Amino acid sequence: MASIELKNVIKRYGVGKSANQVIHGINVEIKHGEFVVIVGPSGCGKSTLLRMVAGLEEISEGDICIGGKVVNQLEPSERDIAMVFQNYALYPHMSVFDNMAYGLKIAKVPTAEIKTRVDKAAKILELGPYLERKPKALSGGQRQRVAMGRAIVRQPQVFLFDEPLSNLDAKLRAQTRLEIQKLHRELGITSLFVTHDQVEAMTLAQRMIVMNGGVMEQFGTPEEVYTRPATTFVAGFIGSPPMNLLSNAPDAKAGTITGIRPEHLDITPTGWALTVEAVEMLGAERLVYGRWAHSNADELVIIRTEESHGVPMLGATLHVTPRPDRIHHFDATTGLRIETA
């Protein structure tokens, strides 16, 4: 196992005045054996950051350390990392066993050792019955497990995952998330996982890096990021549905944005008056969408309620009250969280 440390890491494409800076001074330390997820929208720089750790992208400024060693000038093969990509990149003419063993054969690992490592990885990933099959005879989830097995047999210091679940359907994604969690518990290898899917981030991460426009907006546990978002971007990106960010909330202070999550708005006899515009039925719960009935403010407010509440009629006035201890405040100019006593 090894720690990963990023010290003021910057990435630019081009030189001089025409240079386009896409990563803006990332500073973060990932502990030995920690599972960290980098999450953010498309184009935010998360995959670029991962590729710099892997050595597939050059660093413009700063240092990347793996196991306390600066690796800026090292080739990917010299960094003792293993990477799992979105596309499985399996050799179609090789069996599962040979796909998993290929890198070890190239490295001239003894045959007996190769078999031991592949068999162990296959047992962990429940691939034993499929070792003689070709990739075309496997499901998408099984192919992704083979790709992970190929990384496991390398016995690296660090695992790097670049959106490995994107090609799977929803059911397989959920199942593979559980397998990755189990894999990390068993192996304890330091892991860095990139995704645009906040559900993956929240369920997999021990800590998570939330990226936006090449900037690290927040680094913390899923609970910290969800309950105390550092910026309006984090508040609006993490959570499904996202936090309500309101400029015209009653009693709001000038120059601030009021944040309240949909599940922290209670339907009450009096309170904020909203006109119901839509209702989404989600099994045991429902989402109610309303706009202010008291002003001309064009802001949509989302309320999450349980099925025990009656379904409000479209066009009706609904009163809601935010839970006082769940209200967040942000600076309207900077978007930064305002801490309250």
For the chain, which domains are there? 4-231 (3.40.50.300), 241-331 (2.40.50.140)
Give the model's confidence band at 112: pLDDT under 50 very low, under 70 low, under 90 confident, else very high: very high
- For range 72-81, the mean pLDDT: 93
pLDDT at 263: 95
| Cβ(47)–Cβ(162) below 8 Å | yes
226 vs 215: CA distance, rounded Å: 18
pLDDT at 238: 95
Mean confidence (pLDDT) of the chain = 91
pLDDT at 1: 65
Q: pTM for the whole thing?
A: 0.90
| CB within 8 Å of 106: residues ≥ 6 apart | none
Dihedral (CA of 186, 187, 192, 193) sign? negative
Which of 296, 295, 277, 297 lies closest to 287 in space, CA to CA? 277
pLDDT at 282: 85
Q: How many CB atoms lie within 10 A of CB 181?
A: 13
- For range 182-208, the mean pLDDT: 92
Q: Where are the alpha helices (DSSP H) in the chain?
A: 46-54, 96-106, 111-124, 140-152, 170-187, 198-204, 222-227, 232-237
Which of 88, 98, 65, 37 lies closest to 220 in space, CA to CA? 37
Give the model's confidence band at 341: pLDDT under 50 very low, under 70 low, under 90 confident, else very high: low
Of residues 194 and 175, the one with the higher pLDDT is 194
Q: Answer yes or no: is pLDDT of 199 > 70.
A: yes
119 vs 106: CA distance, rounded Å: 18
| Cβ(90)–Cβ(103) below 8 Å | no
Q: Answer yes or no: is pLDDT of 293 > 80.
A: no
Q: Answer yes or no: is pLDDT of 340 > 80.
A: no
pLDDT at 250: 78
Q: Answer yes or no: is pLDDT of 245 > 90.
A: yes
| Cβ(325)–Cβ(260) below 8 Å | no
Q: What percent of the chain is predicted at pLDDT more than 70?
A: 98
